[in-house]
Chain A
Amino acid sequence: AQSVTQLGSHVSVSEGALVLLRCNYSSSVPPYLFWYVQYPNQGLQLLLKYTTGATLVKGINGFEAEFKKSETSFHLTKPSAHMSDAAEYFCAVSAGVTNAGKSTFGDGTTLTVKP
């Protein structure tokens, strides 16, 4: 069994500020973890993923996430927010990469970027 909790359904930051979106997971097997972004009226797009190996994962658009097994966390960060980062972000967990489509998704966090 697996689950995902995204802390904070809405996060607001100023342009240029640090972005931190929180994700905690539970999984009975070693997890595969994903962050997706969804812009208005569009489908989801993969930002980054952790499968095995290096725990700090870099993705597109300057985002990165760190897998912390001891904390069961996979928080998403970006050093400096840009207006174009405003979107909804989803954290997801799956039991292995072949089950990525059967991922369990969090409820999403809407990121607002203020000028």
Chain B
Amino acid sequence: DVKVTQSSRYLVKRTGEKVFLECVQDMDHENMFWYRQDPGLGLRLIYFSYDVKMKEKGDIPEGYSVSREKKERFSLILESASTNQTSMYLCATLYTEAFFGQGTRLTVV
């Protein structure tokens, strides 16, 4: 079974903090993605990566950056967290369909 692991299930951070959300996959997939999920808005793609050190912006990249130094790890970075970034964050990897992590519920206070 493909396993996508997000480092935290719940996080509470203060406004202005730099926040790192980590995602690790164990199946050697090249493609990894970060989504944000908000009620009534479905899933929105933040960033994705097709290979190590490669990244592309998704639909809502503002306020976020990513890092992919190793194939199995894809990190989402909130440079200066704001309250409007309170959300559920989902990491996914891809083979013939998307495999999702369990999600990180981030609250920015």
Chain B residues lying within 8 Å of A42, measured Cβ to Cβ, are 102-103
Contact between A34 and B100, CB atoms less than 8 A apart: no
Q: Is the interface of B mostly helix, strand, loop or mixed?
A: strand
Q: Is the interface of A mostly helix, strand, loop or mixed?
A: mixed
Tell me how many residues of B have a C-beta within 8 Å of chain A. 26
- Residue picked from A34, A36, A105, most chain B C-beta under 10 Å: A105
Chain A residues lying within 8 Å of B48, measured Cβ to Cβ, are 101-102
In the complex the two chains form, what is the Cα distance from A105 to B38 in whole Å? Answer: 12
Total number of A-B contacts with CB less than 8 angstroms? 59
A46-B42 contact in complex given A41-B105, A101-B92, C-beta closer than 8 Å:
no
In the complex the two chains form, what is the Cα distance from A42 to B88 in whole Å? Answer: 10
Tell me how many residues of A have a C-beta within 8 Å of chain B. 21
- Interface contacts beyond A44-B98, A45-B100, A90-B42: sample of 17 additional A-B pairs, CB < 8 Å, sorted by A: A9-B40, A34-B98, A36-B98, A41-B105, A42-B103, A43-B103, A44-B90, A44-B92, A46-B98, A46-B99, A101-B31, A101-B33, A101-B92, A102-B33, A106-B42, A107-B40, A107-B42
